[in-house]
Structures are given as C-alpha cells and as structure tokens.
Amino acid sequence: MKREYLTGMHPYLTAPIPGTGGFIKESPEDFIVSEIPAYEPCGSGEHLYLTFEKRGITTLEAIRRIAGRLKVPERDVGYAGMKDAAGITRQTISLQGTKPESALSLQLDGISICSAIRHSNKLKPGHLKGNRFQVTIRGVSLTAAESTAAVLEILRQRGVPNYFGHQRYGAQGNSHLVGAAMLRGDWQGAVDCLIGVPDAVRDADWRAAISAYQRGDLPEALQCLPRHCRTERDILQRLAARPEAWEKAFSVVHPRLKKLYLSAFQSALFDKVVEQRLETIDRVMAGDLAWKHVNGACFLVEDQEAEASRAERFEISASGPMFGSRMTQPAGAVMAMEQLILKKAGVSPGDPGPGGRLPLQGERRPLRVPLVDALHRVEGDVLILEFSLTRGSYATSVVREITKMF
C-alpha cells in the first residue's frame, strides 16, 4: 500500500473562505478538552468512577500510572474515550475494588484527581455524549473574526466533515501503515513502519535511533532511543536477542496499541470516503446507509428525494465504512465507490487478517457531525474557540477549516 494514498492534506468544506492562519498548542492551556458524560455515577456499586485532569500525557499512560499506584490490573480499568498527550484534558475512568479515599489521595506527575464516585457498571468505550473543547489559536490574521464567523456558520448549516485527521495516525503519521502491515501478515513491515523514518521526528536522539535501525545497528538504535519510546525499545530488544524473528518481536506490542494501529488503518480509509463525498456531504444518495443522529442507527436510503428534507434538518447524514467482516454494506453506486477505495488500499471488505487472528468487525460512521454551541472571540492576534462535538469526532476538523493550516 502506498503511503501517499491514505495520507496528505484533506480538502476543506469551506475552501473559498480565507484561513486565519496561526498556531495551536503552543502551551497545554491552548487546548483544553472535557468529556461530556453519557450519565453520572449513582454513588453506589463496585466500580469507582475516577475523574482526573491530565497534562502532557496520553490516556493509556495516565491509566498505566494510576493503575500501577493503586495496584489494579490495567486490563480491569474502564474508559469512555481516548485522549492524546497534547493539552489539558479532563476525563473519567472506572476501577474495580478501589476505595475512593485511596484514589483521592493519589499524587502523580501530570495527573490531578478531581473526584471519585461509585457506580454499578464498568466504563466502556463510547460511554459519553461527546467532548467540549476550548482551543486557543495564536498569531491569527487581522480578518480572523470575520472569516471565523463565516466558517462557523457554514459548519453549523452543513455539518463538520468527520475526518479523523492527522492526530489519528500517531506522532510520525504512520499508525495506519502499521495496521495495514498487520493485516497483510507482514511483520517485518509492521516493525519497519512502527520504528518509522528519521524525517518524521524532531528529537535528535530519536532520529539517530531510527537511522541506526535502518542500518541494521540495533545496539546503537537501543542506545539512542529516548526513554518515552518504550514499545520501540521492547521490540528492538527482542530483535537483538533473536534476529529476523519479526512476528515474535512485534508480539510485545500492547494489545491496546495493536487495536489502535488497526483502527488507524480503518480511519484512513474512512477519511478517503469523506474526501470523495465532501461536496455533497449534507445530502444522502440512493444506496446510502443513512445515520440517525438521535441514536446512531442506520437505514438504507431507497428514495433519495424522500429523505432529502431529513438531511437538511440534520436528522440524518450519509455514513461511511469502518471496514470489517460484520459491517453492513450500502447499495448501488455508494457500495461500488467504497469497495473501489478498499481495493486500491489492498484489502477486501471482510478481510479478517492473517489466519483470522486479527478480526475487524467494522461499523458505519457518519460523514459529518453537528457543531454544537460554537463560540469565538478575538483578542489582538489570538482567536479563542469553544464548541462541542459528538463522541468520536475531533476538534481538529473544526480548527483546520478555520485556519486552513493542515
């Protein structure tokens, strides 16, 4: 699979409106996100809902630190959504068999405990309504107020293109390539993609480690690897002990990370569908599986004209594929278009992976999402945005339309 087929800059829905330019994430305070829970903990039960604020670390790293200190197996920790390391994020996880006072007394680098309340069930992915964002963009243009207002109005009316975008593909933009190699059973390719390329990173030691790996100098690569590259280090240590044992080396990757790589590959294919449907993103076609925004259910569009008014009212939207063996297929021209994208990527709609060991069940995902309670203000050359999106959607899909920077 060619890297350029699934990456690159996505087209803008608001292309005719000039971008504000500017810079985001200059400091953690420039990107603040808070989960909007699907329900509040009831105050009793065997699970402890722990809400915390993290700064500069990923959700998985926060779980690792909290679980380690409380001596809880990581696999028993529940979470509703994943958040990356950038910015300040407030989210909730669930822990079983943990006392509230033990959790509230935790003092951890990068993590502040906000509350600990009991509930009757474990948190699972998707147990949230969405996320509220506050994004600060610095160094914007003199016309930022006018252009931002114009962009937000279009997004309110037509919807936000539901791209996963670059943050889905990891620090080097290579996560989807790892997932594609996994599906092919190409374990050397999976390791090569995971280690990455020197030009994709800024850290000098990290670049040196990647270059050493590409030369076949594993001791030098291990010596240069930064401390935060734990997965890469584990893989290279396995390879140093057993050269060419690629599958064994890759087996040390955490199961959650493996799922993220496969999901990233699905995401890259979905983004390609959004690109192809962008000009008519607020309409449905015959053969579409229309997404009901009220409950996430889908139905087959048989009469395009009959459903047009529902799409205009934002009751429904066209959906795209997160491909997999159990994903419901659309019909007609829509199905042909989606299957052509999968074919060009080198997979089939129900590809289970090598030997059926890496099953992807698949699902549908809306091509657009509503923009909720969007506010903006400009202070000098600083633009401050506030808005909410449904779960699984990304703030960058809004920010990129405004800045036209990525």
Q: Give the CATH H-level superfamily of domain 281-369.
A: TruD, catalytic domain (3.30.2350.20)
Q: What is the model's pLDDT at position 270?
A: 95
Q: Could you give the CA distance from residue 91 to residue 72 in angstroms, rounded to a whole number?
A: 18
- CA separation for the pair 246, 13 (Å, rounded): 42
Can 192 be counted among the known catalytic residues?
no
pTM across the whole model: 0.85
Same fold, 39-125 and 281-369: yes
Q: Which two tokens stand for residue 147?
A: 């252009």
In the chain, where the domains are located:
3-27+130-159+370-403, 39-125, 175-254, 281-369
Kindly indicate whether the domain formed by 3-27+130-159+370-403 is annotated with CATH number 3.40.50.1820.
no
Contact 42, 119 (CB under 8 A): yes
Pick among 1.20.58.220, 1.10.1510.30, 1.10.10.10, 3.30.930.10: CATH of 175-254: 1.10.1510.30
Write out 192-226 in H/E/C secondary structure. Answer: HHHHCCHHHCCCHHHHHHHHHHHHCCHHHHHHHCC
Walk along the chain (406 residues) in steps of 10 and give the mean pLDDT of each run.
52 97 89 95 96 94 95 93 90 95 95 96 93 97 97 98 87 90 91 95 95 96 94 96 95 91 92 96 98 96 97 98 90 95 73 54 95 97 97 94 94
Residue 269 carries which side chain, given as an amino acid letter?
L
Query: Judging by beta carbons within 10 Å of its beta carbon (0-12, 13-18, 19+), is residue 151 exposed, middle or buried?
Result: buried
HSE-up (13 A, CA, CB side) for residue 378: 15
Of the residues 76, 84, 203, 205, only one is catalytic, namely 84
Residue 350: the pLDDT is 54
Pick the CATH number of 39-125 from 3.40.50.620, 3.40.640.10, 2.60.120.200, 3.30.2350.20: 3.30.2350.20
